[in-house]
Amino acid sequence: MAIVIVGAGPAGLAAAQALLGCGVRVRVLERGEDVGHVWRNLYDSLRLHTGKHLSGLPGLAFDRTTPLFPGRQDFVRYLEQYRDRFRIPVEPNVDVHSALPPMNGDGWTLQTSSGPIETEGVVFATGIVSNPRIPAIPGREAFSGRVLHSIEYHRPAPFVGRRVLVVGCGNSGAEIGAEIAHAGARVTVAFRSGANVVPLTVFGLPIQYIAFMLRKLPRRARQAVAGAIGRIGEIRRGPPVLPRPAHGPLDAIPLIGFHLVDAIRADLIRVRPALVSFTSSGVRFLDGTEEEFDDVILATGFHAAVQPLGARVSLDERGFARRSDRVTSADLPGLWFIGHNYDAAGGLRNIARDAPLIAQRVATPRGR
């Protein structure tokens, strides 16, 4: 009986490669038509914020022709190459509806679109993008315009000439807002708490590489480096145009790159306070003002996609499944998670770190 991996994105493929290398049989279930289904459907202009040298999966580096910051299509091709290189058995078009844990020592039962599947254990590699966070905003049903989550955005053409509000200041929202503003939309961004902005590169070196090299330094030293980078940015680009949040750039993933702030400085984007409710023709902001909009894009983030597990697993304060270590479920035996660790090193770097750990956890109890 094989271990089932749910998801054939980077996390699922990395886990499969590591398990196969330990002699563990796997079945990789993918709800889409091919590997990297989520990546294939993200917005066209997407590029990784992480450099290719720290974004590869175990056993296969990006080739020399790939840009330092791979684009969406570059990354999809890489995932296809990874699957082929390690002969990973991916079963497409299989949607997992529920995952029932062992009863009286028996294995797991997965209810899927292809029928029930029995397995000794399950690795959830479903990521976060398939579970967008959509806040309940009063008055939405009365709004006559279009409301969509950032995951539904693909390209700027449908927004040209329209009044667009982008809600949220994460990296996706910043990039989408800047892109549609440069394409000719009249863009406003609504912020609740501001943003820490860091450059994509410092003297040509990706900011991720700097964070990775400094990760073992004391916090005070890392804060000093972050402060110095911030001062360099202000010298080169002027004072901040966005309010700073209460937390620092070491405490949460910052806004990487200057797409948004440059568009604000160029008067292509206006900044407003938090959105509190919709009106029939627009929105009402926290300061009580109202404005009309044609479209509202909710760049409000994502939750971990663990819906098939229901209430059988508990979640931490960030919405990820609780684990006894980096990968092992704290609630149920025979259950592991990959893609649930995020920090300044980048999600892909954490996947590369966690895949061998999953293989170790799975293989050791089986006497391998």
Per the CB < 8 A criterion, the answer to whether 37 and 9 are in contact is: yes
The helix (run of H) or strand (run of E) holding residue 361 is helix 347-363
For the chain, give the mean pLDDT: 92
- 154-207: per-residue pLDDT in tens? 999 999 999 999 999 789 999 999 999 999 999 999 988 888 888 999 888 999
What separation in angstroms does the CA of 264 have from each of 306, 359, 365?
37, 47, 55
- CATH topology match: 3-131+302-366 vs 140-298: yes
Nearest to 57 by CA among 361, 356, 344: 356
Q: For the segment 232-268, what is each residue's pLDDT rounded down to a tens digit? A: 777 777 788 888 887 877 787 888 999 999 999 999 9
Q: Which residues pair with 200 in a beta bridge?
A: none
DSSP state of 97: E
Q: Where are the domains of the chain?
A: 3-131+302-366, 140-298
In angstroms, what CA-CA distances link 75 with 56, 155, 223?
Answer: 9, 18, 32
Confidence of residue 106 (pLDDT cuts 50, 70, 90): confident
Q: What is the mean pLDDT of residues 126-139?
A: 92
Res. 138: pLDDT tops 80? yes
Q: How far apart are CA 39 and CA 60, in angstroms?
A: 19
Q: What is the pTM of this model?
A: 0.92
Domain spanning 3-131+302-366: which superfamily?
FAD/NAD(P)-binding domain (3.50.50.60)
> Residue 82 has which token pair?
């990874």
Locus of tokens 């009249």: 186
Cα–Cα distance, 125 to 199 (Å, whole number): 30
Which of 75-79, 116-120, 213-217, 332-336 shows the lowest mean pLDDT across its residues? 213-217
Fold of the CATH domain 140-298: FAD/NAD(P)-binding domain (3.50.50)
Residue 1: which pLDDT band, with cuts at 50, 70 and 90?
low
High-pLDDT (> 90) share of the chain, %: 75
Mean pLDDT of 17-45: 96
